[in-house]
Structure formats: C-alpha cells, structure tokens
Structure 1
Amino acid sequence: MQFDNLILEKEDDLAILYINRPKAMNALNAEALYELEEAIKEVKADPNVKVMIVTGMGDKSFVAGADISFILPLSPAEGRFFSDLGERVMRQFELLEKPVIAAVNGFALGGGCELAMSCDMRLASETAVFALPEVGLGVIPGFGGTQRLPRLIGEGRAKELTFTAEVINAQEAYRLGLVNHVYPLDQLMDQAKKLARKIAAKAPLAVGYAKFAINKGLQVDIETAMSIESDMFGMCCATADKSEGMSAFVEKRKPKFMGK
C-alpha cells in the first residue's frame, strides 16, 4: 500500500516504518494516524515479518508531537474523537503480536513520545529529546501518555514530567527507564536492526505469547497474571516451534523456527 505520510519498507524478516512528514517535523495529524493503522494491519498480515522498527524520516525528528495546526480549531467533541483515534492507533502497536522497536532519532514530543511509549522497546540517539508538553498548550496528553508514562517510570516522576512539561535528553530518559539504550545517531538504525534480528531469530509464536503475557499481566493482579503466563506456556507446547527448539537444544544444533 502507498502512503502519503509514511514509508514502509521490508528488509528480510523486518519491517521498517518511517514517519515521513518533513514539513511538519513528522508531527501526526488524523491522516497520518489512519495510515499508521493501515501500516500495522499490513505488518500483522505479513507472515514474513517478525519484528517492526518505527522511526522518523531525517535526522532531527522522530515525531514532534501531534499537529498543532490540526488541533487548534477542534471543538470538544472533535477533540475527544481525535484523542480516541490516537489512543486506538497507539494501542494497536501494543496489541500487535510482533515486537515493535522505536528508534528515536530526534524530537519525541507529545504524540511522538506517546508513540515511542506504545512500542515494546525504545532505542534513542544521543540527540533525542523527550517531553509531554501538552499542559503548556492548554491540553493534556491525549494518545495514552498519562497512562503509559507512569507504568514505565513510576507515578511521581511521570507526574513531574507531565505537570511541568519538562524536556529531557536521551541520557535522562535512559536514567529514568524511559529508553532501553542510547547510541550515536549514525549508529541508531544499525543497532535497532541488530536488536530486531536477535529477536527475529527466536521462535516467533513464543515471542508473541511472551509479549501478550507481559502486557496483559501488567494490567491485572499477580495471581491472574501468572494464570495468563501458564495459559501462554501451554499454547507454546502446542507449537511445532517448541518441538524444534527443544530438539535442537538436545541435538546441539541451531533451531529452524517456522512460526508454527
């Protein structure tokens, strides 16, 4: 599918999604959000794709937020609809059974920070900066930021960043636990692909089940969470990949996973 605001490339068993709105610093409007939804559907439907990487086109901006010129005239009802749309799209990254890595190559502000947080892992360039600046604009984060940031870095620190709209650099984001790793900008995509290929080499169904167990388990009490884990473990035992992986271990060879 051709996109106006995105570029979706396939590289072996990886999908690389570029947010491509250079005149708007890759900011998200409604059209871009709908295209993100379509891109996720395409990745989900492609059996050859095992891991997805999301990044911004260029070397200055991952996503510089939601498009302010688009939001400015919105009525309350329209604002609610736009927030619902953004939340729904971000949620699709979490619900995708394939891991998603954010390669944050510059500004990750507002909706951009929220997009990064909806991914499973975040790698940042040394030039990346993060913020939820919405209260300085008279609104609040509307794409899940008030919910994901506390889950990632804790309630107190999340409230401080949200209430002050403070901009933090990549090293501070790493210290807070918002990002997994920080790399020089010219190494970021290579490192993202290296991590993606390390994951892609594992049993894809098992990785998907593990993602589901972690994400779902974080929303419930520990007893229910462990029951979810047991369910996913049992589902793994129904796969050919489980037999292949364990047979390969016993036979001291490299497994050949088929995603079945």
Structure 2
Amino acid sequence: MSETNVRVEWHNNIASVIVDRVDSLNALNVSTLREMEKKIDQTADEKADVLLLRGAGDEAFIAGADIGYMQDLSTSEAEEWGDLGHNVAKKLENYPMPTIAAIDGYAFGGGTELSLACDIRIASDDAMLGQTEIEIGIIPGWGGTQRLPRIVGDEMARRMIYLGERIDAETAKQRGLVSEVIPNAEFESRLFGLAEELANKPSFALQTAKQSINQAHEASLEAGLAHEKRAFASLFDTHDQKEGMTAFLEDRNPEFE
C-alpha cells in the first residue's frame, strides 16, 4: 500500500501527524486510518515530547469519514470500519505524551471524534465542529457517544448528537469542547508555542500525569485515587523531581531531563 494520505513533520521534538487529503477535505478512508495508526506509533517510538494532530490545507482539520465508502457496508463490515476509527482514537488517548488537536477549518463526524481523544483541543476562529452523523442516518461510531458527554456534559452532548449541530469555534469554547480560540493568522505560532511549552516540562511527570488523569475515565474514584497516590510517590525518585524542587528552593529555573 502506498502511503500518501498522512505525513509526519518534526519541529525539534514535536511531531505533527498531518492528514493530507486536501481534495477530500481530509476525510478519512480505510488507508488513511491505517496510515494514521502507523504514523502515531512511529512518533511514539521516536520519543516525541508532544504530538500534534493536524489537517492539511486551509479548509479542514478532518471533515469526517468517507461517506461514499460507508454507504454500502454490511453490519459486519461497519463493525470493522468502526474498529479502525476506535483504534486510532485509542492510540491518541493512550499516547505516552500530551496530544493536541489543532482544529483549523471543518471538523465534523469522525474528525470531531478523533479530536475528543486528544488531551487538548485548540481551534482557529474559522473552525466549525459537530457530531453530524444523525444527518446521514447513523450515530457517532468512533467514541463520540462516550467521550463527548465527559467533555461537554450529558445534555449538551445529547443536543449535539441528536440535532447534528454544526457549531463555530466560539460556541465550541463556551461548551468546553475546545479550550482556546485563536485568530487564524496567529494559529500556527500559538500552536507551536503551546507545544513547546509542554515539551519543556518534565517528561516523566507529564507522562505520569496523563496516565493518572486517564484513570478518572476508566475506574472508580477509589481506584483512581489509589493510582494517583502510587504515581505521585513514584516521581520522588526521579531526576526531575530533585531538580525541580532544588531549583525552586534556590530561586532559579530548573533544568529538566
């Protein structure tokens, strides 16, 4: 299989996984999803400090899934198709380091769903988002019914999914779907500024923090608190903990590994 739909770009130790199907508004088909899986794993193997999920061109982040492909799927084929999307979302959700969805332009259906699996979502001021699957007779199939309520609340998620709303970036921010809206002309500089800020934090502590926060969605409160207690204690035998606390007491900037 030729790999032409997804590319990886590096900026220092920040990796961008870029969906590049500009003529299709970066819509996702089978080969693109499989490439995304491979490229996400590749950046993890190469020890990226931060992963950025982006779309090529000026019109879309990821406009959704390939409806032409989905139209004639059987139920068993649709389940396999769903598995592909879930696999990519899980790789983003479980990525060892922070992930940022850089939403510039359209992010509908599966595009919104993959952004939900990222740690942080930022949007340009011309972004449009929505779980629009109801308009073609289906429901979100890559995690939207589960992750969206956790992010925007139960009733708001129901409204978005039931009505198939398309919302602008400011509305998305008001609902907690994105954390920041940036003027289009400043979007890339702010994106990399945020990524560099994260990359300069102590990496093992960031990784541990992400694992602990993810536990809040996967376990009971009691189990999550127990995990946090163990994770917190484990950091007290690391270079970055010693350096961070020493630097604080010496009133200087820390030099993390």
TM-score of the aligned structures, taking structure 1 as reference length: 0.95
Displacement of 1:185: 1.2
| Distance across 2 between alignment mates of 1:79 and 1:186 | 39
**Identity across aligned pairs (percent)?**
37
| Distance across 2 between alignment mates of 1:55 and 1:97 | 18
Letter in 1 for 2:128: V
The worse-fitting range, judged by mean Cα deviation, of 116-125 and 220-229 is 220-229
| Distance across 2 between alignment mates of 1:254 and 1:235 | 23
Superimposed CA distance per residue, residues 14-44 of structure 1 (whole angstroms, 9 cap, x where no aligned partner): 1112110012110011111111111111111
CA contact (8 A) 2:133 2:139 kept: yes
Match of residue 137 from structure 1: 136
Unaligned runs of 5+ in 1: none
Asked if 1:173 is matched to 2:172, the reply is yes
CA contact (8 A) 1:55 1:102 kept: yes
Letter in 2 for 1:90: A
Asked if 1:30 is matched to 2:30, the reply is yes
Match of residue 43 from structure 1: 43
Displacement of 1:238: 2.5
Displacement of 1:253: 2.4
- Partner of 1:237, secondary structure, is helix
Match of residue 151 from structure 1: 150
| Distance across 1 between alignment mates of 2:185 and 2:8 | 20
CA contact (8 A) 1:132 1:165 kept: yes
Match of residue 111 from structure 2: 112
| Distance across 2 between alignment mates of 1:210 and 1:41 | 20
> How many residue pairs end up in the alignment?
256
Letter in 2 for 1:141: P
Match of residue 229 from structure 1: 228
| Distance across 1 between alignment mates of 2:93 and 2:122 | 17
Superimposed CA distance per residue, residues 165-224 of structure 1 (whole angstroms, 9 cap, x where no aligned partner): 011111110000000000111211211111111111110010011011111123322222
TM-score of the aligned structures, taking structure 2 as reference length: 0.96
Query: Matches of residues 38-117 of structure 1 in structure 2 within 5 Å?
Result: 38-47=38-47, 49-117=48-116
CA contact (8 A) 1:217 1:228 kept: no
Superimposed CA distance per residue, residues 82-105 of structure 1 (whole angstroms, 9 cap, x where no aligned partner): 101111110110101110011100
Letter in 2 for 1:179: V
Superposed CA RMSD in Å reads 1.2
Letter in 1 for 2:21: R
| Distance across 1 between alignment mates of 2:68 and 2:236 | 51
- Partner of 1:7, secondary structure, is strand
CA contact (8 A) 1:37 1:89 kept: yes
